[in-house]
Amino acid sequence: MKIVIIVLAILLMNGLVIYMINSDKASTAPITVEAYGAESGDDTDDREAIQAAIEAGAENGSGVVSLTGDYVLESSITIREGVELAFGPKSRVRVRGDFPVIGMEKGPVSKERSFSWRTRTFRRRS
């Protein structure tokens, strides 16, 4: 009887370890900007969808926002601490206008965005 209980305990512990490993993988799955409304290949501004995906990545700890298509930006996006933009082999971001394209921010996600770490400015070449 003791052997059966020990075997069941070992199987239960193995199951918990496998569950924990798989749940970690699920939480780091890339977030696609299309899930937030970006439409690859059209001529509309995708800034709000890209920014929403970045915010979601910062809030849930995923960290990876996947851009695999052709997108348009007409205003700046801000990359949060712990978020990585992953571009596919044929992805492209077209910028319309003269503005800082990407800002970077360190610290917790907040509505006020008062904690600014640093900003790098990327401008379109003339």
Residue type, 66: S
What is the pLDDT at residue 108? 60
What is the pLDDT at residue 119? 41
What is the pLDDT at residue 49? 96
**Could you tell me which of 35, 101, 20 has the C-alpha nearest to residue 68?**
35
What is the pLDDT at residue 86? 92
What is the pLDDT at residue 79? 92
What is the pLDDT at residue 85? 92
**Cβ contacts of residue 77 below 8 Å, gap of 6+?**
47, 50, 51, 54, 101, 102, 103
Q: What is the pLDDT along the chain (126 residues), one digit of tens a residue?
A: 778 677 666 766 666 666 666 555 445 688 999 999 999 989 999 999 999 999 999 988 768 999 999 999 999 999 998 899 999 998 999 999 999 999 988 866 554 443 333 444 444 454
**Could you tell me which of 108, 55, 97 has the C-alpha nearest to residue 79?**
55
CA–CA distance, 73 with 40 (Å, rounded to integer) = 12
For the chain, the C-alpha Rg in angstroms (whole number) is 20
What is the pLDDT at residue 28? 65
